[in-house]
Amino acid sequence: MNLHTLCGVLFSDAGNMEQSLPTPDDQATKLLDRATSQFAHAASTCYSSYANASDRAKALALLSDGGASLAEATARLRTAAP
């Protein structure tokens, strides 16, 4: 799979995740919104980074931030569930 395809799929998935918001829990919604924004920014940076190693590193950092935000949101949803 080439880099453009991978980045495009990530961008699409971030958009699909955004469409699932809001959740019944405001804090979880804010955390998930932050994660989707980070994933979308990572995908956009990734898509244009094919010739620039520095931009690929930025995309990976944004992806890592998105993963951390998603983990935080997941933990919030687990504790907020009845």
Question: How many domains would you assign to the chain?
Answer: 1
pLDDT at 1 over 70: no
**4: number of Cβ within 10 Å:** 12
Mean pLDDT value of segment 40-49: 83
Residue with the larger pLDDT of the pair 32 and 13: 32
Q: In which domain, by residue range, is 66 found?
A: 3-80
**How far is Cα 39 from Cα 43, in angstroms, rounded to an integer?**
6
How confident is the model at residue 69, as a pLDDT?
92
Yes or no: say if 23 and 78 are a contact pair by the CB < 8 Å rule: no
Mean pLDDT value of segment 34-45: 88
**How far is Cα 38 from Cα 6, in angstroms, rounded to an integer?**
16
How confident is the model at residue 13, as a pLDDT?
80
How confident is the model at residue 18, as a pLDDT?
84
**How far is Cα 49 from Cα 13, in angstroms, rounded to an integer?**
19
**How far is Cα 52 from Cα 12, in angstroms, rounded to an integer?**
22
Mean pLDDT value of segment 52-68: 88
